[in-house]
Amino acid sequence: MGLLRHVVCAMSGGVDSSVAALILKKRGYKVTGVYMKNWDSLDEIGVCTSEKDCEDAYRVCRILDIPFHQVSFVKEYWHHVFSYLLKEYEEGRTANPDVLCNKHIKFDHFYTHAFNTLGADAVATGHYARTSQEDEEVFQQSYSPPSTSLNGDRFEIRNPVKLYRAADLVKSQTLFLSQIHQNALRKTLFPLAGLTKDFVKKMAAEAGFHHVLMKKESMGICFIGLRKFESFILEYLEPKPGKFISIEDGRVMGSHKGWFTYTLGQRARIQGQKDTWFVVDKDIATGDVLVGPTTKHPALFCDTARTDRFHWISEDPPPELVRTQKMDCLFHFLHNMPLIPCSVTLNADGSVWITLSRTVRALTPGQFAVLYKGDECLGSGKILELGPSEFALQRSRERSAASGGQKAQPAPEPAS
């Protein structure tokens, strides 16, 4: 009789993590379910959804006859995710809390808790993703805390574990996992790697998980709940009134309560305006939010972006990129967004410039630019800077033509 492997599975109270635990139990592992409480408040109608989710996760563990634990990471979430989110908004950027939650909470604090407190041999989540390891290889890896150094563990990265998109490409969640550490990835199982969402629902029904099947798919930022984003964010940030400015002609279109209540590409609800306008840029120096009259305004489209220091899943940049400083690969920055061919240039500080094969709508500073080679997720970097928009290039060409072909400076744009 072989050693019984102990897998600690993150349980959210949803169908995916419930079926992940079911699969692990069917494979013969000793499974422990853990629900993470990351936010501590009621929504606007007085319902604490985390308590309901915790109860749903507990019911699944009762059905599976496996131990259940609840652990609070409220303080850690506030420090590593929510405070960071507020700072990004104040800087004019739009952060992705799901990426940050995976990096700092699930694959750092939960990961460490599973091994140091619960005696795990591996951890598991209900993410739709897969790695280059078979289950037994995961158990053969030694536990190491997530690396905090920029260079990682030089011994470990000789044979890095790779992260791949799942079989269900529509549900694949590698974007949300693109910032996790190599050490955590080595000790993680993704039981849903080869399954489709429809098959997962079928398994849940057959297992009697009807209470989680009836739940709606979680969408949006979890801690906002049913509240409007503007109302929510103004609970934490002081209003900073400014103007809506037409990028077409500089007209003042109206006023707003703070640039941080808007993100690029969203509809700008301007009082007194019958026509629909969309946010195309923000200038935090003046407090102005620039708007355009259509959802596909050329000011919303560009094809270049620079990131901060890029996080490579393998810890090191691909050899091809190190050797030539350039590499062709694939890009997206939104879940379910098709992968777009791109060219990447590596900078001396570890950041990258990304040039896309076509312009993309609403590339947004603060979001994560995720790179792929085929189905392999290479990692991600936070978008800090955008290249000129189609609108800026058009204006530059118009001025150049008006000046008789003399070289003209590009149209000035607010720094996003």
Confidence category of residue 11, pLDDT binned at 50, 70, 90: very high
Torsion of CA 291, 294, 299, 300, to 10 degrees: 100
Distances (CA, A) of 283 to 204, 289, 293, 303: 48, 6, 18, 20
Mean pLDDT of 62-90: 96
Q: Is 354 exposed, middle or buried (0-12, 13-18, 19+ CB in 10 A)?
A: buried
The answer for residues whose C-beta is within 8 angstroms of residue 67's C-beta and 6 or more apart is 32, 33, 61
For residue 410, pLDDT beyond 60: no
Say whether pLDDT at 114 is over 50: yes
Among residues 17, 52, 356, the alpha carbon closest in space to that of 207 is found at 17
Mean pLDDT of 156-183: 91
- From CA 156, how far away is CA 160, in angstroms rounded? 7
Residue 198's CB is within 10 A of a number of other CB atoms, namely 10
Residue 54 appears among annotated catalytic residues = no
Q: Name the more confident of 147 and 115.
A: 115
pLDDT tens for 29-72 read 999 999 999 987 655 444 557 788 999 999 999 999 999 999 99
| pLDDT given for residue 402 in this prediction | 86
Q: Residue 193: how many CB atoms within 10 A of its CB?
A: 18
DSSP string, 326-344: EEEEEEESSTTPPPEEEEE
Strands (E), 229-296: 242-246, 252-256, 267-268, 277-283, 288-292
Mean pLDDT is highest, among 173-177, 335-339, 408-412, for: 173-177
Q: How confident is the model at residue 2, as a pLDDT? A: 56
* Whether 48 is catalytic: no
Position 158 scores a pLDDT of: 63
What is the average pLDDT across 363-380? Answer: 98
**Residue 154: is its pLDDT beyond 60?**
no
Q: CA nearest 239: which of 261, 262, 259, 258?
A: 258
Which amino acid, 272?
G
pLDDT band (50, 70, 90) for residue 272 = confident
**Pairing verdict, β 340-346 and 163-165:** unpaired
Q: From CA 153, how far away is CA 146, in angstroms rounded?
A: 10
Q: Which of 9, 54, 61, 101 is catalytic?
A: 101
| Residue 404 confidence class, pLDDT cut points 50, 70, 90 | confident
Please name each of the domains of the chain with its CATH number. 6-213 (3.40.50.620), 238-295 (2.30.30.280), 301-391 (2.40.30.10)
Q: What is the pTM of this model?
A: 0.92
- Computed over every residue of the chain, the mean pLDDT equals 91
Q: Which amino acid type is present at position 15?
A: V
Mean pLDDT calculated for residue range 181-196: 97
pLDDT in tens, 287-341: 999 999 999 999 999 999 999 999 999 999 999 999 999 999 999 999 989 999 9
Query: Has residue 414 got a pLDDT over 60?
Result: no
Q: What is the rounded CA–CA span in Å between residue 358 and residue 341? A: 8
Rg (CA), the chain: 23
